[in-house]
Amino acid sequence: MMSAHTAHRKLEGRVVIATHNAGKLREMKELLAPYGIAAVSAGELGLAEPDETGTTFLANAEIKARAAADVSGLPSFADDSGLCVDALGGDPGIYSARWAKETGDFPSAMGRITDMLSERGAIEPAQRRAHFVSALAICWPDGHLETFEGKVFGFIDKPRGEKGFGYDPFFQPDGHELTFGEMSSEEKHGIPADGSQALSHRARAFQMLAGKCLG
């Protein structure tokens, strides 16, 4: 997914990470750190969480980034991400966090998805295909917007590992023996020095963003 503008703007100085999710905040700070970007979270600034009324990941990322930029007066960086399961028609998709809230927590949401797959006879990995999506948006106080989207494909397996967050423990990316829940931060979203593609959806979107707006 290309940027929302053809004329890219460099991101410098201080930026707001428009999230109240500790896992996302940690990953996004780690990704920004090598570029000398000072990051403060929406939670640290006491910013309210806007209603995510968009129907796509990119729309919701833009809503969060614009809301934070308008209130803080700083460039604001937002992620909207989720898990899309083929056999469930793409659900939970943009409602990934909502499913966890409705069921009580992410382990319960993973149990719900696993049960739904079993009910549909989706037992083998080929029947349990899924992908993570990460949409990143940077909005400046003057309204300038940049957006990028990354995806990683794999399948739903039995939950393994306690690293990462969210649905990581039961997502095994293609070409790997470990789930995201078993991978270290570097294994999951480290950006290869040789310029090859990063692994995680968030790192892939960030890799595109960095090529246009950082460095």
From 169, 19, 148, 25, select the one nearest 83 (Cα to Cα).
169
180: tokens are 């995201």
Active site positions, annotated: 80
For strands 38-41 and 145-156, give the pairing.
unpaired
